Amino acid sequence: MNKRNALLALCLAGGSLAAGVATPATADIYVRIAPPAPRYEAVPIVRPGWEWAPGYWNWSGRRYVWVKGHRVHAHGHAHWVPDRWVESNGRWRREHGHWDDRR
């Protein structure tokens, strides 16, 4: 590989890296491996004004990693919808936890 091709390869790799950094954190990721069964976690008593967000499996790019449950500050009358994995045509996509104020 000559110097020009090497430089071009580095520029393209850098552009790919920059594009990866610019990807939104909420971008959909599809995984062909089903997530493990949820782990049992004792749900603590939470103070008024807080809700419990249960733990969930997150995809690290190579494997599933457990994210422990945690308290989230309540948003008025909205309720917390936990993270979950949804299967479609043999691929799994994580739906991020969010607040839902519909009644």
In-domain check, residue 10: no
Q: How far is CA 5 from the centre of its chain?
A: 37
In-domain check, residue 18: no
Handedness of CA 59, 28, 92, 81 (dihedral sign): positive
Domain ranges, residue 93: 27-100
Whether residue 13 has pLDDT greater than 80: no
Residue 94 has a pLDDT of 95
Whether residue 5 has pLDDT greater than 60: no
In-domain check, residue 94: yes
Give the confidence band of 47 by pLDDT, cuts at 50, 70, 90.
very high
In-domain check, residue 37: yes
pTM of the model: 0.69
In-domain check, residue 19: no
In-domain check, residue 21: no
